[in-house]
């Protein structure tokens, strides 16, 4: 290389370094000015600092290792509760150089989900969920989310009679598979139940998906892939901004298998709709697919929304039913009381009339029982939002914990409904006990406000909560009718609530199943 050429290369190298240095200095000064402006805003609003979670190793790496171990042991929420007890109801954590605030204060959660709704979005969650859930109601913010909500809301309110019949028919089929006086793990049956009813909601049929043992290879692949995709999404979520580190070929295959199954359902549903084109207009458009097709012809949009609805309809309700029966057989007094209500309201025995909507609404102890199940085991126990702009939240700052605190743009707020629902200052000294009677006179429900959020709150409140409560209540009553003398198996260990194994993905499921001695 000639001297002239070497000099040219050297000059370009120097120019590049100078430009890089100028850029970095500019960014530093820009960030510094922005931070000073944010600090001034916080001071003006009376903000004070939060207590900071203590860590032993640099960058909080010890917390990551401990959390990973608790995930494997299926006791991660116990770890979260310990952090809250030792640090505070609202606190700051610093992991890998990133700041996050965690809270279980109703006022803060109300601000994030409702009164300051426009100040918070999903942040990195959108990119994390995208490979599986695409652009759907669970990944969107702003105008796109509003469009999806407007698209989906009418469909969850429509076809109530057909959907109710689907719950009845599917549950009766599952009841026939339960042998009397045998111990069964009901958890997989509940997943089958809610998957079938949600498939019917989406496609107008269950696509031939049946109970375990009778499925095709494709059905089995789908069930496995659906669970794997959830586990990966959950793991990626715990990595925060570094979610992309968990992007294995196994995760990609799980997403592809799920999408392939949904695409088949869409294709079959649209084919059936075309074959019934001679039906009158009122009888048509009776499934999610029919309605979505009238709003959009984009196949990916339809698929993305279907995967989101399937996630919401299958897993959340199945987990709630599983927790309900785990609690029932571990609390014979509650089971006795609920059995009496079922007997006098509609009758016991397989030949007794099946419950109707009207009958379920009359059952006050059933309502209290369901509220208590969802208090102690909310299906979405942890959640979070990212600040779209710098703002403040009302409580947690300062020595008293009563002052507001500053939340800078792009910082994350995590909140745990699971932990909030177990606060003794909100629910009394027996907050960790299972006692449906606390809800019976309605006083607690009217007064607790944002301290009770089994279905989230604000503009993003769960669209399907009415349907979920219907399926949950119907299943509980019908199984008590058919197996009124169910009980806890003698060899089943009993541990304190909150100490059992818990499988935490996007939802909270029992980690060791739902074993029940089914007895008529």
- 482 labelled ligand-binding: no
Give the separation between CA 194 and CA 430, rounded to whole angstroms: 32
Strands 412-416 and 98-103: parallel
Short-list 500, 519, 495, 498, CA closest to 511: 500
Q: Do residues 431 and 419 touch, judged by C-beta distance below 8 A?
A: no
Give the separation between CA 64 and CA 506, rounded to whole angstroms: 19
Short-list 168, 210, 228, CA closest to 357: 168
Long-range contacts (CB closer than 8 Å, 24 or more residues apart) made by 332-341? 332/487, 334/369, 334/434, 334/436, 335/480, 335/486, 337/365, 338/365, 338/366, 338/369, 338/476, 338/480, 339/480, 339/484, 341/365, 341/366
Q: List the beta strands (DSSP E) in 181-328.
A: 182-185
Give me the residues paired with residue 98 across strands.
95
Ramachandran angles phi, psi of 386, nearest 5°: -115, 135
CA gyration radius, the chain:
26
Short-list 70, 369, 382, CA closest to 237: 382
Short-list 259, 292, 301, 322, CA closest to 503: 322
Query: 425: which residues sit within 8 A by CB, 6+ positions away?
Result: none
Q: Which helix (H) or strand (E) is 407 found in, with range? A: strand 403-407
Helices (H) and strands (E) in the chain, counts: 20, 11
Query: 117: which residues sit within 8 A by CB, 6+ positions away?
Result: 458, 459, 460
Give the separation between CA 232 and CA 246, rounded to whole angstroms: 7
Residues making up the annotated binding site for heme are 462
Residues making up the annotated binding site are 462
């Amino acid at each position: 290389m000639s001297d002239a050429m070497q000099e040219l290369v050297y000059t370009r190298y120097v120019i590049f370094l100078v430009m890089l240095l100028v850029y970095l200095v500019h960014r530093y000064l820009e960030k510094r000015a922005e931070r000073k402006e944010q600090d001034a805003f916080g001071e003006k609003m009376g903000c004070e600092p939060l207590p900071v979670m203590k860590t032993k190793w640099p960058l909080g790496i010890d917390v990551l290792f401990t959390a990973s171990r608790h995930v494997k042991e299926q006791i991660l929420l116990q770890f979260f509760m310990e952090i809250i007890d030792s640090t505070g109801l609202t606190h700051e954590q610093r992991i890998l150089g990133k700041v996050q605030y965690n809270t279980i204060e109703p006022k803060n959660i109300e601000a994030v989900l409702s009164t300051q709704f426009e100040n918070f979005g999903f942040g990195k969650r959108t990119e994390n969920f995208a490979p599986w859930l695409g652009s759907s109601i669970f990944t969107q913010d702003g105008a796109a989310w509003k469009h999806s909500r407007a698209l989906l809301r009418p469909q969850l309110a429509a076809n109530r009679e057909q959907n109710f019949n689907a719950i009845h028919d599917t549950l009766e089929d599952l009841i026939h598979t339960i042998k009397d006086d045998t111990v069964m793990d009901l958890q997989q049956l509940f997943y089958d139940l809610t998957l079938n009813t949600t498939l019917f909601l989406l496609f107008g049929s269950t696509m031939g998906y049946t109970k375990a043992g009778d499925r095709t290879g494709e059905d089995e692949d789908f069930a496995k892939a659906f669970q794997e995709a959830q586990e990966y999404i959950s793991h990626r979520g715990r990595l925060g901004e570094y979610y992309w580190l968990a992007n294995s070929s196994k995760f990609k295959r799980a997403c592809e298998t799920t999408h392939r199954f949904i695409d088949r359902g869409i294709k079959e549903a649209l084919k059936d709709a075309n074959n019934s084109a001679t039906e009158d207009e009122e009888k048509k458009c009776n499934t999610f697919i029919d309605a979505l097709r009238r709003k959009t012809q984009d196949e990916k949009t339809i698929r993305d929304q279907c995967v989101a609805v399937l996630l919401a309809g299958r897993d959340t309700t199945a987990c709630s039913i599983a927790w309900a029966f785990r609690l029932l057989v571990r609390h014979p007094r509650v089971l006795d009381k609920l059995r009496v209500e079922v007997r006098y309201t509609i009758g016991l025995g397989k030949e007794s009339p099946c419950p109707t909507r009207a009958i379920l609404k009359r059952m006050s102890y059933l309502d209290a029982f369901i509220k208590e199940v969802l208090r102690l085991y909310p299906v979405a126990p942890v959640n979070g939002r990212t600040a779209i702009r710098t703002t403040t939240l009302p409580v947690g700052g300062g020595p008293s914990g009563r002052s507001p605190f500053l939340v800078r743009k792009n910082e994350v707020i995590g909140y745990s409904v699971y932990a909030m629902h177990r606060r003794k200052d909100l629910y009394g000294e027996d907050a960790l006990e299972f006692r449906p009677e606390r809800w019976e006179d309605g006083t607690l429900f009217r007064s607790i406000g944002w301290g009770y959020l089994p279905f989230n709150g604000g503009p993003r409140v769960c669209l399907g909560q009415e349907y979920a409560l219907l399926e949950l209540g119907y299943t509980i009553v019908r199984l008590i009718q058919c197996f009124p003398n169910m009980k806890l198996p003698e060899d089943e260990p009993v541990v304190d609530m909150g100490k059992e194994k818990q499988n935490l993905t996007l939802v909270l499921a029992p980690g060791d199943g739902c074993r029940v001695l089914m007895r008529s």
